[in-house]
Structure 1
Amino acid sequence: MEVVTIPILRRMAVCGGTHGNEMSGVYLVPELERQRKEKGDSIWPIPLTTVLSNPRAIKACTRYVDKDLNRCFTSDILSSPITESTPYEVRRAQELNTLLGPKATDDAIDIVCDLHNTTANMGLTIISYSHSNWICLHIFRYLQTLITTVPVRLVLLDIPISEAYSLESVGKYGISLEVGPQPQGVIRADIFNVMKEGVNGVLEWVRKFNSGQVIEGGSIEAFTVEKSIDFPRDPETKTVMVTIHPQLQDQDFCLLKPGDPMFLKFSGEVVKYEDDEQFHPLFINEAAYYEKGIAFHLAKKRTLTIPSIQAKKD
């Protein structure tokens, strides 16, 4: 198999608190800073920047203050003029782009690893924007072999980098670690430890890659989001009129087939899935998605082949 050479990785950032009530990242970033003070920078394979992304939201323990920060990193928003009425998160996104980017330039940091929690039963989910981001896809493959306490899965968002809206898209090789289930504003030891193991695994993989050894390619499974389903809502008040059916709740990544229970009305009536096409539901009943009009995403499972890669040293 042909070996693809990729420039050696020189800088990495770990960001937490992009959503201020997703507590694993809020606590893991200071823990990484504590380790640096105690043991020095040499404990990391490359220089590591640690960032608490949304300090105002973290202080308030809310997802955001004015606007969802993790939707503020499109090229248009990052280049928009700042005025007195500019939302705080847009200002902060531009600050982070200056610190970690600029996005889509040679000066951007190599890896931005952004840390998130979900209230959905997603295990450890790697999210990336590109089917050819070989660094991210190989990291996913490595974490799948490393972490055994929860399922490790990959979600690919096929969006042009200029329209990519989340923080990790600022880096050359952006990667988001999504770990759940964990309630908003709460820290759970098991979920925190999975995230910590994930970040340590990324750093271990970087050390392995930068050593110059060939990292073998092969097949991986990925989920691509195709569409989203909202709750049935009152047409006037937009109030949610159902709950997720108990048979679907917590079944993220399982196959949803025609006729399967989907929602349960408060009267007890079951709303079934009626589409002819089968999908895998993701982020089922994610608390933060109620305001976005999403009960869950629907995805297709695909098999991808990734090449062997090797660091190209100077």
Structure 2
Amino acid sequence: MESVSSPPLSRVAVCGGTHGNEWTGVYMVREMLRRGAERFGSASVTAVLSNPPAVDTCRRYVDMDLNRCFTSSLLSSTVTESSPYELRRAQELNAQLGPKGSPQAVDLLCDLHNTTSNMGLTLIFYSSDPLPLHILKYIQGKMTSVPVRAIQVDVSASDAYSLESVGKHGFSIEAGPQPNGVVRADIYNMVKEAWELTLEWIQLFNSGSTFEGGEVEVYRTVTLVDYPRDPTNDEITAAIHPQLQDQDFKLLREGDPMFLTFSGETLKHKGDELHPFFINECAYYEKKIAFHLGRKVKVTLLPLKVHKV
């Protein structure tokens, strides 16, 4: 059977606090930094607190969303002391962990996030890079106590906007529900287990194990849904309907309730049957997103093995 290969993963990075009020990643990275430099087999692991000023003030960001600052055009733009902090910080992180798209970039970058949505453990990655898909399959096979899902974002490498795109391979972990500025032991331990399984997978991969092919399910965003708004002042006029709240990844069918207006009217879904996620995510109010609607698809994986350099 045809297979694919990839060079060993010798330099690995894990980041937390890209959003300063998402505290699972913050405290995981702080614990790693407290322990000092670590090696896992042939791989060295670098832990990075991505946005220290935002962490210190328990805010998502200082000037702008850091996790939207890693497109190739923004990373190559001219910055000055008056530039937004996150734009300057993105270029610092790119110099430390990249440069993006270069042979010097870390081999694998994992960025840890929390969501206020009821998404459990969700991996997010770009395009169809087989390596993070195999990590996903491995984690799914080992973590049976919680559902492990994946969102695939189909954009070009240069347009990929989030921190994990700086690595040769990368993915982010979204874990929730967790309020901003709070650390929950159950969510923390869920993410910690997923990260430890990632390290376990890396050791197996680097030592020459071949990972069998197969299929994995991923969700691909089809559209973004905004809250109903008052056309005169743009204020929202409804909240997520109680029957939709916390139902991330559950199929939304024609006629299912979506919103409950503040005057008491139920607004129902019209159109294709799709899967909602990031339902009522706190940080997305400013982005005018009530939830994402995506399609669940199966992706075929070829066997994967290390390619010794």
Q: CA RMSD in A?
A: 1.1
Q: Is the 8 A contact 1:281 1:299 kept in 2?
A: yes
The match for 1:261 is 257
SS at match of 2:292: strand
Amino acid at match of 2:50: S
The match for 2:87 is 90
The answer to whether residue 278 in structure 2 is matched with residue 283 in structure 1 is yes
The match for 1:300 is 295
The match for 2:8 is 8
SS at match of 2:294: strand
Q: Is the 8 A contact 1:21 1:184 kept in 2?
A: yes
Q: Is the 8 A contact 2:40 2:199 kept in 1?
A: no
Q: Is the 8 A contact 1:45 1:203 kept in 2?
A: no
SS at match of 2:135: helix
The match for 2:167 is 171
TM-score by length of 1: 0.96
Q: Between the two proteins, what is the percent identity of the paired residues? A: 56
Q: Which residue among 195, 217, 220 is the counterpart of 2:216?
A: 220
Q: Is the 8 A contact 1:122 1:181 kept in 2?
A: yes
Matches within 5 A, 1:1-314: 1-36=1-36, 41-43=38-40, 45-131=42-128, 133-275=129-271, 277-314=272-309
SS at match of 2:155: coil
Q: Is the 8 A contact 2:22 2:180 kept in 1?
A: yes
Q: Is the 8 A contact 2:40 2:203 kept in 1?
A: no
C-alpha displacement at 1:44, in angstroms?
Answer: 5.6
Q: Distance in 1 between matches of 2:5 and 2:188?
A: 34
Unaligned runs of 5+ in 1: none
Change (3 A) 1:187 1:45: farther
Q: Is the 8 A contact 1:44 1:203 kept in 2?
A: no
C-alpha displacement at 1:130, in angstroms?
Answer: 1.4
C-alpha displacement at 1:104, in angstroms?
Answer: 0.8
Total equivalences in the alignment: 309
Q: Distance in 2 between matches of 1:270 and 1:59?
A: 41
Amino acid at match of 1:77: L
Q: Distance in 2 between matches of 1:200 and 1:136?
A: 15
Q: Distance in 2 between matches of 1:44 and 1:119?
A: 35
SS at match of 1:47: strand
Amino acid at match of 1:291: E
C-alpha displacement at 1:236, in angstroms?
Answer: 2.9
Amino acid at match of 1:178: E
Q: Distance in 1 between matches of 2:165 and 2:88?
A: 17
Q: Is the 8 A contact 1:244 1:264 kept in 2?
A: yes
Q: Distance in 1 between matches of 2:34 and 2:139?
A: 24
C-alpha displacement at 1:83, in angstroms?
Answer: 2.3
Moved more, 45-54 or 279-288: 45-54
Q: Is the 8 A contact 2:39 2:45 kept in 1?
A: no
C-alpha displacement at 1:42, in angstroms?
Answer: 3.9
Q: Is the 8 A contact 1:45 1:206 kept in 2?
A: no
Q: Distance in 2 between matches of 1:103 and 1:167?
A: 10
SS at match of 2:249: coil
SS at match of 2:253: coil
Q: Distance in 1 between matches of 2:83 and 2:252?
A: 42
Task: Return structure 1 stretches of 4+ with deviation > 3 angstroms.
Answer: 42-45
